[in-house]
Amino acid sequence: MPIVQGSGSTRNEHQKNKGVWSDSGSPGVVANSIIGKPAPLKDSLKKVTGEAVYADDMKFPGMLFCRILRATVPHARVKRLDITKAQAMPGVRAVVTGRESGVRFGVLPVSQDELSMAQEKVIYTGEPLAAVAADSEDIAQAAIWAIEVEYEALTEFLRPQDSLKDVEPAQQIHDKVEKKHPKTNIHKAVDQEFGDVEGAFKQAASTPNASFKFDGISHGFTEPHAVIAHWDAEDRIQLYTPQQVPHYTHRALAKVLDLPMHQIQVIRTTVGGGFGGKSDPFQHEMIACMLARNTRRPVKVTMDREETLLTGRGRHPTESKVAMAFDKDGKLLALDSDVLIDGGAYGSFGVVSAYYNGVLSNGPYLLPAFRYHGKRVYSNRIPSGAMRGHGSVNPRYCTETLVDMAAVELGIDPCELRLRNFLPPNSITPHHKFRVTSTGIREGLMEAMKRSEWSKKWGKLPYGHGIGVGCAWYISGSALPIHWNKLPQSTVHIKIDMDGGVTCHSLAADIGQGSDTMIAQIVAEVIGCKLDRVHVKSTTTDTAPIDLGSYSSRVTFMAGNAAREAAEVVRKDLAAAASKLTGQPAQYFDFAGEEIVCRSKPSVRVGFMEALHEAQADRGALIASGSYQSPPLGGDFKGSNAGLSPSYSFSAFICELKVDPDTGFVQPIKVWAAHDCGKALNPLSVEGQIEGSVHMGLGQALTEQMRYRNGQMLNANFLDYKIPTPFDTPEIEAIIVESHDPEGPFGAKECGEGALAPVIPAVGNAIFDAVGVRMFEVPMTPDRVLRAIEAKARKEREA
Amino acid sequence: MTMLLPKFELHQPTTLAEAVKLASAHAGDFDFLSGGTDLLPNYKCGLNAHGHVISLAHIAELKTITRDSIGAGVRIVDIERNADVPRSVAFTAGQIASPLLRQSGTLGGNLMLDNRCHFFNQSYFWRNSLGYCLKADGDRCHVVPMINEGGKSVLNNKVCVATHSSDLAPMLIALGADVTFAGPDGSRTIKLNDFYYGDGIARFEHRPGEILVKVTLPKSAHEVRSGYKKLAPRQSIDFPVAGVGIALELDAGKVKSLRVAVGAVDTTPVLFDFSKPANVKALSSYLLTDPYKNMPDVMGKQLDNALIETISKHIQTQCQPKLNVPMEPGYRKKMCGVLTRRLLAELRDGKTV
């Protein structure tokens, strides 16, 4: 895989900006013997051999099985809920309903709007109403069907437009709505304006604008939700759950169960994919704990695929009106967007989504004037939430399409127009004060252009064959924690005893993205030992120091920095021991290849184990702790926190494809995917993340959509929810761009999410190059593409 | 909403005679199981599950494949990889489902596939939410809620429009294949095309206790120009949402015989036999597509692009897909024309699969 060096940033430039730039770059000499080398993920053998233990694989003595009764209507008052028949069935050990707890929870402190089970009313088809724990799944299911429910219909809100209207309080889905619109079903409204937007549009040479529509999509992770709760004899509760964010679940459990946090242990099981879909605290987690409390026996909930899709939290269905202004040279002047976001039944991460849909349009291009009206509404549909590229993917399609339209109108090559507008490194965006440390997007785009032979192809391929470009940026960790406090965002502990094993403790969740391997690589690099000495324990809240978890692309940057800091403490201990053994000053030692070598006299060296045992004299195991906290960032207006990150990743993708003009089918041929991840700590893993992002992005671009009939999802299974197969997936050339971020661990930034967004507009723009039609609806299914081609032909005939 | 398999008694006969006997003994309360790729997912959704399941997996008589006949128990993958069957049949087999599913699915299973509808192929929970339908547990059709009866629009509690979604059926029908059954009264052989009959529930002319034994191809199947084109959202795993199988004979560029069978647009595959339009069986009153209405006379005519266009237009006009499987009906209808046009041109020009 090609690795391109970005000319991103230099340390000197950062030092000129003292006060803004905090310097947590890696001091001293590192050997780069492990960092930057491809390393298979530490859990990969277990996964491919089937040894990895998922929650549904686990069995406990006396374990009960839970099934959940779900609402069969989108919005209704519950007139009657009768569980007596279910309770009387042999083998049924407990039945719980909404009466169990009226405590509301949710991932964001500002949107605590979920009940463990519905009480007076249900608000979407699929909402939990009751649950049964029984000796077998069969019995539990039979008991579920024995529960009698009577509903009284309420007005259903199934189109986001309906949720904007003023309604009677009884028709509101939730009591608490946006303060500015108290009689509606609007969850969150964001209105921002910076710079002279009107003036920019008046003086512009090109003002492309369009209305866009995006269907909701699902994460499509492999492992359906499955958890086990156990209320033990010591009155502590253990919850085994495939969580991306064990810490927030831990907090929510304490609130709902009314227990101190230390009485609860959350144990992350192997996560069979998350992509944002396992980052909310969930109703089934609460339900399992309640049933475990009532029965004092372990209780397992395993969802089927349909329930998993109904649990939702996928990408929001979105409708946007967007306009951009450019001068005659293609310089971007302004962006004006109005976005309606269908949040479904709950708040989830929606307040963040409402901001991100606007503010993340402040890159990767310098944007002098900005206006955004975003409304995230409640509806009686499946709850939307955070999904890979959260809040940035749909608006990115809009802006990249409009940028392309401007390029065509102004007669400028679309890549060239983008090159004229990129944010420079070491800069701060004019209004939102987003601090861009490093960026390799220029190098990335130029490399993708070279490899794809862009200049020979764009506008020059035969009809039906096209090439298109899309660029993006993304946060490398949200700078602000969800729960406002002074604690570090990531902490890593290291313990080394005389056996020579290096145990790292962290609550950063390895969800398949390889964070355990990342931590091991960083620690091994700093203390100069082999990678297989390092073992990462990242599953259990009792032993792991708090980490905010795997969301917002924060783990490599934040947990990586915490691991580096902890390892440097150990390194100092080992250096002191080597100094004692050799008489050389401690600061003169290099660490690599299991040896501690005197820099000035390389013949003077101490083995890793020898130094370790010397360091352990009189004190036992070496213990170290490191942590990371984002530097203070941002402006001082309302909502200024949204979109802040200590660093940003950048990507530039080019897609070549063919469109069948008779059928509308789009066949991607190749994607050149240049992504600036700062420094590829593990190029193998980075390549995998880029390829996965491209595949997932192509799914949203071409085939995936959550289809509804009234409030019911029509395709809540993997035959009808169309994830691209290997045959639908083109060759992907991952181009790793290294811009060496001054604050990332060894220069690293994120690569798990940002690489998704550019795929979709690259496809849309390539379709335009192929057949001359702009696609304003995503996914770009064959019938939609064909309709656009036919409409164009009709227009041309009429003209 | 569970996906648990309902309880049933599994029978595993090793001879046809034994299987026929079991089928008679459990008449009305059994299903045959072959590869299970269609039946078991439906059972998990609680769709018309029965108390007895008779496995055909251990019956050797169903598993022979020769140049001219294919046992009903032959796996799809073994048709796909067979060098002796017509290339178009092997190619069509390779279009079915996914490589993994083709390892267990069989010819018989593909021909007797249950019809599909997005209001039917859903979990028990889902169907409970919607209100059940004619084809399972209910008394109405959600796709065509009203029908015309004696000039009045009345609630449709009669006709199911679920789509027949086999890939092999249209190809084999175009080639003029026969099917042979073993039953309590001995064996019988009929045209595959005559086997399909009725609406989305009745589906075929299948007598009690009968087992599909084999498909026999006429000698001409190896001689005619034949091929299949499939429309599906993805390039693997999906059921067809339209599929066109064609068998064509040309004499000096002129049409000598032409049979076009279209799958996945109606409750059964629909044969457009341009060779003998005058001599067709009475069509099922349920079938929405009428292949012979205004059928153009093409016999003996030069198969030029204009004639291909005429044939394709006819097929496009007559096919009446419903909104009950993925992709819009209007789009699928249009694609019936496109697939026919492309396949006819390829067959004329000697392009083979």
Q: For the residues of B32-85, what is the DSSP string, one character each? A: EESS-TTHHHHHHTTSS--SEEEE-TT-GGG--B-SSEEETTSBHHHHHT-SSS
Beta-strand ranges (E) seen in A23-147 are 64-70, 76-82, 92-97, 121-122, 128-134
Whole-angstrom CA distances from A264 to A253, A261, A491, A680, B316 are 8, 5, 20, 37, 64
Residue A29 reports pLDDT greater than 90: no
Interface test with A, best of B38, B125, B312 (most A CBs within 10 A): B125
Mean pLDDT along residues A30-41: 88
Mean pLDDT along residues A447-465: 98
The domain boundary residue, chosen from A260, A293, A311: A311
Distance from CA of A727 to the nearest CA of B (A): 6
Distance CA A401, CA A322 (A): 10
CB nearest A70 (choices: B1, B3, B237): B1
Distance of CA A448 to the CA centre of its chain: 25
Length of chain B: 353
Distance of CA A392 to the CA centre of its chain: 11
Q: What is the CA radius of gyration of chain A?
A: 27
Distance CA B154, CA A490 (A): 66
Does B2 reach chain A within 8 Å, measured CB to CB?
yes
B residues 233..262 contacting A (CB < 8 A): 233-239
Neighbouring residues of B284: CB distance < 8 A, sequence distance ≥ 6: B197, B198, B199, B267, B268
Question: Tokens for A689?
Answer: 């993340």
Q: Is residue A21 part of a domain?
A: no
A581 and A466 in a common domain: no
Contacts of A141 in chain B (CB under 8 A): 2, 4
CB pairs under 8 A between A and B: 76
For B125, which residue in chain A has the nearest alpha carbon?
A: A72
Does B5 reach chain A within 8 Å, measured CB to CB?
no
The 3-class SS string of A729-798 reads CCEEEEEEEECCCCCCHHHCCCCCCCCCCCHHHHHHHHHHHHHCCCCCEECCCHHHHHHHHHHHHHHHHH
Beta-strand ranges (E) seen in A443-573 are 465-475, 490-496, 502-505, 534-537
A259 and A373 in a common domain: no
Distance CA A151, CA A87 (A): 21
- Please tell me the least confidently modeled range out of A26-35, A672-681, B86-95, B288-297: A26-35
The DSSP element (H or E) to which A671 belongs, if any, is strand A666-676
A73/B129 touch (CB, cutoff 8 Å), yes or no: yes
Burial of A540 (0-12, 13-18, 19+ CB in 10 A): middle
Does B327 reach chain A within 8 Å, measured CB to CB?
yes
ipTM of the complex: 0.96
* Per-residue pLDDT reduced to its tens digit, A479-497: 988 888 899 999 999 999 9
B234/A728 touch (CB, cutoff 8 Å), yes or no: yes
Distance from CA of A565 to the nearest CA of B (A): 48
pLDDT of residue A30: 61
B331/A783 touch (CB, cutoff 8 Å), yes or no: yes
Between strands A64-70 and A299-302, the pairing is parallel
Does B1 reach chain A within 8 Å, measured CB to CB?
yes
Q: What is the CA radius of gyration of chain B?
A: 20
Contacts of B234 in chain A (CB under 8 A): 703, 722, 724-725, 727-728
Rounded mean pLDDT of chain B? Answer: 94
* Beta carbons of B233 and A722 less than 8 angstroms apart: yes
Distance from CA of B130 to the nearest CA of A (A): 8
Rounded mean pLDDT of chain A? Answer: 95
Contacts of A714 in chain B (CB under 8 A): 118
Question: Tokens for A348?
Answer: 């989830």
Give one DSSP letter per residue of A683-711, joined into a string. HHHHHHHHHHHHHHHHIIIII----EETT
* Beta carbons of A749 and A647 less than 8 angstroms apart: yes
* Beta carbons of A250 and A285 less than 8 angstroms apart: no
Residue A2 reports pLDDT greater than 90: no
CATH code, domain with A550? 3.30.365.10
Distance from CA of A126 to the nearest CA of B (A): 9
* Per-residue pLDDT reduced to its tens digit, A81-116: 999 999 999 999 999 999 999 999 999 999 999 999
Distance CA A277, CA A349 (A): 11
A730 and A777 in a common domain: yes
A504 and A451 in a common domain: no
Count other Cβ atoms within 10 Å, centred on residue B151. 5
Contacts of B38 in chain A (CB under 8 A): none
Distance from CA of A56 to the nearest CA of B (A): 15
Distance CA B170, CA B264 (A): 9
The 3-class SS string of A62-84 reads CCEEEEEEECCCCCEEEEEEECH
Residue A687 reports pLDDT greater than 50: yes
pLDDT of residue A3: 80
A306/B3 touch (CB, cutoff 8 Å), yes or no: yes
A138/B236 touch (CB, cutoff 8 Å), yes or no: no
* Per-residue pLDDT reduced to its tens digit, A49-78: 999 999 999 999 999 999 999 999 999 999
Select from A723, A767, A628 the least CA-distant residue to A222.
A723
Distance from CA of B342 to the nearest CA of A (A): 10
Contacts of A722 in chain B (CB under 8 A): 233-234, 238, 326
A228 and A307 in a common domain: yes
Question: Tokens for A607?
Answer: 């083995």
Neighbour-count burial for B14-28, b at 16+ CB within 10 Å, e otherwise? eebeebbebbeebee
Residue A14 reports pLDDT greater than 80: no
In the Cβ-directed half-sphere of B349, how many Cα atoms lie within 13 Å? 11
* Per-residue pLDDT reduced to its tens digit, A707-717: 999 999 999 99
Distance CA B201, CA B283 (A): 17
DSSP SS3 for B189: strand
Domain range annotation of chain B: 224-347
* Per-residue pLDDT reduced to its tens digit, A521-560: 999 999 999 999 999 999 999 999 999 999 999 999 999 9
Distance CA B196, CA B204 (A): 4
For B328, which residue in chain A has the nearest alpha carbon?
A: A783
For B98, which residue in chain A has the nearest alpha carbon?
A: A725
Distance CA A559, CA A515 (A): 9
Domain count, chain A: 3
A783/B130 touch (CB, cutoff 8 Å), yes or no: no
CB nearest A306 (choices: B126, B128, B327): B126
Q: Is residue A715 part of a domain?
A: yes
Q: How confident is the model at residue A28 (pLDDT cuts 50, 70, 90)?
A: very low
Beta bridge partners of A339: A320, A374
Interface test with B, best of A715, A720, A729 (most B CBs within 10 A): A720
* Per-residue pLDDT reduced to its tens digit, A729-767: 999 999 999 999 999 999 999 999 999 999 999 999 999
Residue A87, by phi and psi: left (phi above 0), alpha (psi -120 to 50) or beta? alpha
* Beta carbons of B246 and B340 less than 8 angstroms apart: yes
Please give the single-letter amino acid code of residue A706.
Answer: M
Does B98 reach chain A within 8 Å, measured CB to CB?
yes
Residue B10's φ and ψ, nearest 5 degrees, are: -100, 125
Domain around A550 = 481-628
Q: Is residue A22 part of a domain?
A: no
**DSSP3 helix / strand / coil % (chain B, rounded to 5):** 25, 25, 50
DSSP SS3 for B150: coil
Q: How confident is the model at residue B209 (pLDDT cuts 50, 70, 90)?
A: confident
CATH topology of domain B224-347: Enolase-like; domain 1 (3.30.390)
Between strands A369-377 and A186-194, the pairing is antiparallel
* Beta carbons of B157 and B134 less than 8 angstroms apart: yes
Does A712 reach chain B within 8 Å, measured CB to CB?
yes
Select from B284, B299, B328 the least CA-distant residue to B159.
B284
- Please tell me the least confidently modeled range out of A487-501, B26-40, B196-210, B304-318: B196-210
Neighbouring residues of A126: CB distance < 8 A, sequence distance ≥ 6: A70, A71, A307, A310, A311, A312, A382, A713
CB nearest B1 (choices: A306, A712, A720): A306
A71 and A114 in a common domain: yes
A709 and A792 in a common domain: yes
Q: Is residue A91 part of a domain?
A: yes
* Per-residue pLDDT reduced to its tens digit, A601-632: 999 999 999 999 999 999 999 999 999 999 99
- Please tell me the least confidently modeled range out of A419-433, B58-72, B265-279: B265-279
Interface test with B, best of A122, A141, A784 (most B CBs within 10 A): A141
Percent pLDDT > 70 in chain A is 96
A497 and A375 in a common domain: no
Contacts of B331 in chain A (CB under 8 A): 664, 782-783, 786
Q: Is residue A395 part of a domain?
A: yes
B118/A720 touch (CB, cutoff 8 Å), yes or no: yes
Q: Is residue A356 part of a domain?
A: yes
* Beta carbons of A537 and A467 less than 8 angstroms apart: no
Select from A608, A490, A626 the least CA-distant residue to A567.
A626
* Per-residue pLDDT reduced to its tens digit, A154-168: 999 999 999 999 999
Distance CA A297, CA A514 (A): 34
Q: Is residue A758 part of a domain?
A: yes
A783/B128 touch (CB, cutoff 8 Å), yes or no: no
In A553-605, alpha helices (H) = 555-582
Residue A15 reports pLDDT greater than 70: no
* Beta carbons of A614 and A579 less than 8 angstroms apart: no
Select from A248, A244, A219 the least CA-distant residue to A112.
A248
Neighbour-count burial for B87-100, b at 16+ CB within 10 Å, e otherwise? ebbbbbbbbbbbee
Between strands B9-11 and A731-738, the pairing is unpaired
Q: How confident is the model at residue A13 (pLDDT cuts 50, 70, 90)?
A: very low
Peptide bond into A779 cis (omega under 30): yes
Contacts of B235 in chain A (CB under 8 A): 725, 727-728
pLDDT of residue A696: 98
* Beta carbons of A290 and A567 less than 8 angstroms apart: no
Interface test with B, best of A127, A657, A663 (most B CBs within 10 A): A663
Residue A303 reports pLDDT greater than 80: yes
DSSP state of B293: T
- Please tell me the least confidently modeled range out of A8-12, A745-749, B42-46, B335-339: A8-12
Distance from CA of B235 to the nearest CA of A (A): 6
pLDDT of residue A6: 66
Residue A12 reports pLDDT greater than 70: no
